[in-house]
Structures are given as C-alpha cells and as structure tokens.
Amino acid sequence: MGPACLSWDVCLLFLLINTLDVTGNVGVADADECSESTDDCHIDALCQNTPKSFKCICKTGYRGDGKHCEDMDECENDYNGGCVHDCINIPGNYRCTCYDGFMLADDGHNCLDVDECLDNNGGCQQICVNTMGSYECQCKDGFFLSDNQHTCIHRSDDGMNCMNKHHGCAHICRETPKGGVACECRPGFELAENQHDCKLTCNYGNGGCQHTCDDTDVGPVCGCHQKYALHSDSKTCIGKSLSHTHTHCRLKMCRLTCAVNNGGCDRTCKDTATGVRCSCPVGFTLQPDGKTCKDIDECLENNGGCDHFCRNTVGSFECSCQKGHKLLTNERTCQGESPFTLHIVSAFWVDLQINVLDFPCTDDCQVTFVNLKCDSSKKRRRGRKSPSKEVSHITAEFEMEMKEEEASESCNVDCVREKTKLRLQNAMRTLRKSISKQQFYIQFSGTAYEVAQRAVRQTDGDEACSIGQVLTDGKCVSCGVGTFYSGEQEQCMICPPGTYQDREGQLSCEPCPSTEGQGIAGAKNVSECGGQCPAGQFSADGFHPCQPCPLGTFQPEPGRVLCFPCGGGLMTKHTGSTSFRDCEAKVHCALGHYYNATTHRCIRCPGGTYQSESGQNYCITCPGNTTTDFDGANNVSHCKNQLCGGELGDFMGYIESPNYPGDYPSNVNCVWTINPPNKRRILIVVPEIFLPIEDECGDVLVMRKSAQPTSITTYETCQTYERPIAFTSRSRKLWIQFISNEGNSGKGFQVPYVTYDEDYQQLIEDIVRDGRLYASENHQEILKDKKLIKALFDVLAHPHNYFKYTVQESKEMFPRSFIKLLRSKVSRFLRPYK
C-alpha cells in the first residue's frame, strides 16, 4: 500500500498536475508547415503535414529523400522506357518518338508504319509501293525510274545506254563518258558485288524493320524491343506477355547492345567487347554524342574541288559549271568558252581565253599563259596651258610555246631545239611587223582597242590619288573593306580589334557594338566583331551578356534577340537549343516535308515551296515568280519560272521556254505569234533545243501558219538537237506553240528570229540552204553566239548594211571562211542593182 496523502487538498493538487502531463497542451492546434511554406522540401517534392511536423516525398519521376530530389531517367532502364524506337527523357517524365516513316501509336510507346502512298500517291508518277518505314516509286512496263525517283522515263531499245531496258541497274543508271553504263544506288542502299544490284541497309526505312535493325553480310536483320516478339515475316513485331521477356535482364543490369534501339546509333551500330560502337557512312561525320550522324558539307572546304559551282547533297556533293562551260569527266573541272575573252587578229588568228589554257594559235604554236594589267596615265595635249587627258591602258602579257619536231638521225635534239627557236623568233617578228603596219587588232568586251607601238611611261606630273585611295602599280585603288586610309601614314591600315569597316575608301573604322575590344583585326562587317550571342542564346541587342533559349524554344543563328517556340506544346531536350531538331517531335520529317506541330505529323511541302533539310518545321517559299511542279520538293532547283519567255519585235526578236536556261516546268502551254510588217518574211535560227525524246513526244515545239492543225507547218520537233539550223518560214506569219506534259523535263530552247524584205527572199534562201553554213564548227558556233547572230541578223535583214561593217570589224567577229561565204552571195545578188 502506498503512502497516504498528507491532506485531501494536497492529493487533489497532485492529481491535477498528473492529468496535465498526460494530455499535453490542451486546446493548442498543430502548425501546418506545408501550407505556411515553412518546410524545406525540394522544389520537385511534395510536402505532407504530420502531427507535430511534416515530411517530404519526391514527385513521380524523381528520386531522393524529399529534401533533395533528382530526375529519374526512365530511358536508362532495361526496357528503354517501354519505347520501341527512341526514348527521350524529360524532367519528371519521358517521351517516345519514332523513326522517319513511322508514327507513334495510341499507347504512346509502339511505332506503326505510315503509308506514304495514301498521300498524293507518295508523289510517284505511276506506281507507289508502301514498305515498312518508307515507300518506293515504280514504273509500268516500258518505263524506268528517273533520277528524281518519282517520275518515269520511256525506255529506248537503241544501243546499250540508260535508255536500254537491259542496262541491268537495279536503281540508278549513269552513262559513262567513254560509253557504257555505271550503276548507282539510292540513299540507304549499297551497290552489290555484281555492280548492278542494290542491297538494302538499315539506313533506308530502318531496313524494313518495325523496331530494331542490324546490318549484316546477308542484309538487314530485324529485332524487336522487349515486350514484343518477331513476327514470321521477320520484320513486324507483335506484343507478348512481360513474363516471357528477358527474365535475366530483370535480375541484373543488361549491357546496351545493337539489338535494342540500334544501340542508340543514328546509322550503323556494331557490338564490341566494351559495348556498342556507332559509325557513319561515307559523306557523314559522327557527332560528339558518339551516336548522331551529320552530313558533311564538302563544299565548305576548297569549294569541294569544283572549278565553278559546288552543291552539297546528302552524303555527297555535285559540281556544275557556268553557262558556256561543260563539266569534264573528272566531275570537277569546267572547260569551255570563258565570258572574258581577248581576241587578237593579225596574219594568224589567236583566240585567248583567260583562265582556261585553251588558246588555239596555229598547228605549230600554242599560247600557254595570259595576264592582263589595267593602267592609266595623263597625256599632255599640245600647248602649255592645255589640260591633260587621262588615257587608259591594258597591258597583255602572254607566253607562246612552239611545237617541237621529233628528233631524227638527220636532226638530233640540239638541231630540233635550234629550229624551234628560229620558228619562235620568226613568229614574234611577224607579230611585231603586223603591229607596226597596224594590222594587229584587239577586241575586249565588245570594244576595239588600238595597239601601242611603244610601252607607256608614267610621267612625273601625274596627280595624286583621291582621299581614301593609294597608288598601287601606277593605279589609284580605294582602301578595301576591313581597312581605312590613314592620312598620317598615307596608306591603308587594318581596322584594329573592336572596330570594323564594311565599305571601301573610308577614313576610319566603325566601333563594334561591344566596347570590350573583342573581335578580329580587319573585321569586314559587324558579325566579325565578336561578342555576339552564339546560336541557342539571345539578348536584348544580340550581344553579350546572353542567356540560353529556355525549354521549348530554339535559335539557329548567332546574334539574335529572341528564340523561336517549338509550338504544339513540344519541349526541347535541353536549354540553349539551336534547331527545331532539338524539339521533342514525335516524328523526324524527311526532305521535302515539314513538321506540323498541331497534328504532330509530317506534311509534304505544298507547291511553290521546298525543304532541303530533314527534321524541320517549315518549308521555304520559292524565290521570285517561281514555283514547283509537284509538292514535296526538296531542292531550290525544283522552283521554276512558269512564264513563257521571249521578246517579239517587228525586225528582230526571240522566243524561249519558261525557266530557260533551267529545266522548263511541267504542263506548259506557251503560244507566240510573229506577224511581221507588210512585205517582210521571217527567218528562224534554232541554235540548239533540248526536249526529252524518251517522253514519247509529250513535249513538243511546233511552228505553223495558224492554230489550225491543218495549216502549213514550218517546223516541228520533240527531240534534242545540239546542232544549229536556220530556215525561212513557209508562211508570211507564224503561230508558235510549246507544250509539255507532267513527265520529264529539259533545258528547252531560246530561238531568235529576224524579218527581212521579201525582195531578198532568193538571197536568204541561198544562204540558209547552203551546206557550208553548217559544215564548219566555226560556222556552227556563230549561230550559237548571241552577239554574232545579232550582227548576222543585221546583215540578213538589211543586206546593204553589210558594207557598213569595216574590214577590221568583220575580221574581229567572223572567221574568214564565213565572210567569204557571205561576200560571194551578197555581191552576186546585189551586183545587178549597182
């Protein structure tokens, strides 16, 4: 028994105290740290209130103790996040995307084939065949697929060329310069050992596989993602129970292999002892991520080795030449008549083509080097107070090489060398005599020049150059961009770092927007100042300090003041994105397509637009008045001018096919009418015409008296002719029509014409019907030269004007054989009227 209370009051006091200790602070509410934001939970955690305290729980998709949470990369698990193609991790979640040619299924994980043939027949002219992940255009019997892989060309049975149906090429046939054919394959295929067949690779339509693809010696081998099994067709994947999928992978970490998502590789994947190794085909380079392949722009380095123009293509590049030149068999060098030509006429005819070592002289000599130097000087007129006159000079330096004879018993090497030396001296002596007797003429850019018999000397009394110019080789030259004229130094100085100059002949340099002295010395524009925000960043003025583009936006160019949104609620993989490709689109669109952020589908570029890059969200509008023949264009060369060309005059004019000299568009219908003045007739010259005959005469040029099919026809063709022809109209006026179909295309034509007095009908007929007009290559070139044909038309339209041309002018323009041909005919015709 316990001790007794001292008194009843004391016991009541102890009882009250004990009751308070048990119940706590009766009537005081618990504090809610979560609602009062007094918790210290991570931003990616949820706060949960508890009696006396609170606890932090990381959100779904994150892991940690609640005070510290980090994103879980669902794509790193054994199942690639459940995605059958690409898995993209995003903060707190992940997203599945599909390869080009596939679309995301409703479950958000599986990828289904897109039937491109349902959309405008896939752009195919005849037959469209859908394949897993892609499609192919095919042609009916008697046709073969053209290089654009969409239109069909009629086969020809003449000769072993690409028009012959037995050329044997599975995909692309090329005619070789030396005759015969060479086979090529479409992108994503490899040429087989027999040099005719093409082997499918994983680079084309994922090799026909729905999920994973692995290139082997026997071709692509398909595999399926976990949770799927390979169908009996060895391409399609069908779902299966998770209980049967790779049990061993759930027990331990599986090493990444090429069998899962192609090892993450963009193109070729190879399993090695240390994991997967990604590689790229020729023409592509592996990016720093070790997975992505990027096309190499060969044109950026030394213009791809091309003489004139270099055009980059996916995985390769192509060289082309300026008008008037042709590409040689090495597919790099351009050869032909240069627009910068110096004609020298004397006792022998020399045609010097600058920058092209092709200078015909005689059978014994050849000009191997030409250099032109322009200069000017002051020439005093007679009288002390007479003002000086500025005279321009063009100095032409050229080297002449004599053809050596072969050494023989009667004349050894020293003898041949001495003979060659004498012939060279004799040629130079003849040249000097022709200059002294004023029988040597020069024509440059259509203007005749006098040949000075003595070298020009610079006089001491020449005036100084203007401000902003310096004297260089006796000529005043403005200070170039990136420099300024220093009056103190009296010379051009390079702009120091932190400044730039984008104009010539200036006295100072402009300061760069940034005052930190950045940039290079000699900056030629503001973009070389440095300090610009790089691609993927922006600022208020485009210069430092910059901030990265936030999630869901991108900026592909440097020095910009804003970033473009991905649209459609799409996010980017990271901040500072530089391309729409960084936006987590559900489909990666091919060339000629754009991504629609509203429907999340790839749409073919509409007519009048094109897209030459993959994975873009826009199409580029064709320049000027040009448009395309079809939708889905993937190159600016597909943009064509639809207008019928030409100028029609009473005395001279011409007609030309639309988009000349580029390929004419499809479905053209051009009509021209030449109605000359009274008592005049029409002369037509067709220098050359390019119409594809393999198109079964779907493209036709016809000239007749009227639109009535039964009217008198002067000319009609649906073929290519590179040999010129001249003819007179069979009627007093001409109705001309050019039509093309939707099939193949060509360069077309530019056809000049002239009207002449009908009294000269006999003379004109005599000239154009003479075979000597077309027999010589020199004569054929006259009919192709716009300047010469204009002069010739002047004589043909008004024969009396022939005598207005001096002997010098005639020799400069036409070869002697041509002048002799015309002189005999004109003189014979006009002599009775003298």
Percentage of the chain beyond pLDDT 90 is 11
pTM, two decimals, is 0.42
Query: Average pLDDT in the 467-494 region?
Result: 84
Architecture of domain 298-335: Ribbon (2.10)
* Model confidence band, residue 98 (pLDDT cutoffs 50, 70, 90): confident
Nearest-angstrom CA–CA distance, 581 and 573 = 10
Same fold, 466-531 and 532-584: yes
Residue 317 to residues 306, 311, 320, 327, 693: CA-CA distances in angstroms? 10, 6, 10, 14, 29
pLDDT of residue 185: 82
Say if residue 549's pLDDT is above 90.
yes
Two tokens, residue 636: 């600016």
Instruction: Give the pLDDT of residue 554.
Output: 93
Is 753 within 8 Å of 736 (Cβ atoms)? no
Question: Is residue 658 very low, low, confident or very high in pLDDT (cuts 50, 70, 90)?
Answer: very high
Residue 23: its pLDDT value, please? 44
pLDDT value at position 157? 52
Q: How confident is the model at residue 69 (pLDDT cuts 50, 70, 90)?
A: very high
Query: CA–CA separation, 329 vs 176, rounded Å?
Result: 8
- CATH T-level fold of 532-584: Tumor Necrosis Factor Receptor, subunit A; domain 2 (2.10.50)
Q: What is the pLDDT of residues 715-728, one digit of tens each?
A: 888 888 888 888 88
What average pLDDT does range 222-232 have in this prediction? 81
Q: Is the pLDDT assigned to residue 458 strictly greater than 50?
A: no
pLDDT band at 738 (very low <50, low <70, confident <90, very high): very high
Nearest by Cα to 495 from 487, 530, 513, 485: 485
Q: What is the pLDDT at residue 269? A: 80
Name the fold adopted by 466-531: Tumor Necrosis Factor Receptor, subunit A; domain 2 (2.10.50)
pLDDT at residue 536 greater than cutoff 90: yes
CA separation for the pair 155, 141 (Å, rounded): 9
pLDDT of residue 339 exceeding 60, the answer is no
Q: Give, in degrees to the nearest 5, the angle at Cα 57 between 56 and 61.
A: 145
Q: What is the bridge-based pairing of β-strands 447-449 and 475-478?
A: unpaired
The per-residue pLDDT for 811 is 67
How high is the pLDDT of residue 486? 83
User: Quick one: 588-641 is in which CATH superfamily?
Assistant: Tumor Necrosis Factor Receptor, subunit A, domain 2 (2.10.50.10)
Following DSSP, what letter does each residue of 35-90 receive, concatenated?
A: TTT-----TTEEEEEETTEEEEEEPTTEEESSSSEEE--GGGSTTGGG-SSEEEEE
Q: What is the pLDDT of residue 377?
A: 55
Instruction: Report the range out of 63-77, 183-197, 372-386, 425-439 with the highest average pLDDT.
Output: 63-77
Separation between Cα atoms, residue 731 and residue 714, nearest integer Å: 8
Of the listed ranges 466-475, 545-554, 556-565, the one predicted with least confidence? 466-475
Strands 669-674 and 734-739: antiparallel
pLDDT score of 19:
44
Instruction: Taking residues 155-179, report their average pLDDT.
Output: 66
Q: How large is the average pLDDT for residues 471-484?
A: 86
Task: Please state the domain extents for the chain.
Answer: 81-221, 265-295, 298-335, 356-379+389-444, 466-531, 532-584, 588-641, 643-833
Cα gap 652→673, rounded to integer Å? 13
CA distance 585 to 566: 9
The whole-number pLDDT of residue 701 equals 93
Q: Which residue has the higher pLDDT, 418 or 257?
A: 418
Whether 327 shows a pLDDT value over 60: the answer reads yes
Most confident of 61-75, 179-193, 519-533, 809-823: 61-75
Average pLDDT, stretch 239-250? 44
CB atoms within 10 A of CB 662: 16
Q: Looking at the structure, give the CATH architecture of the domain made up of residues 81-221.
A: Ribbon (2.10)
Mean pLDDT of the chain: 76
| 729 has a pLDDT exceeding 70 | yes
Three-state SS letters, 303-337: HHHCCCEEEEECCEEEEECCCCEEECCCCCCEEEC
Compare 690 and 468 and report the one with higher pLDDT.
690
- On whether the CB atoms of residues 546 and 534 are closer than 8 A, the answer is yes
Give percent above pLDDT 70 in the chain.
73
What does each C-alpha distance from 774 to 714, 762, 794 come to in angstroms? 19, 19, 20
Separation CA 735–CA 673 (nearest Å) = 5
Residue 670 pLDDT: 95
Q: Residue 537: what pLDDT?
A: 93
- Residue whose structure tokens are 């009396």: 800
Tell me which of 513 and 476 has the higher pLDDT.
Answer: 476
Structural domain 643-833, CATH architecture: Sandwich (2.60)
The residues facing 448 across adjacent strands are 443
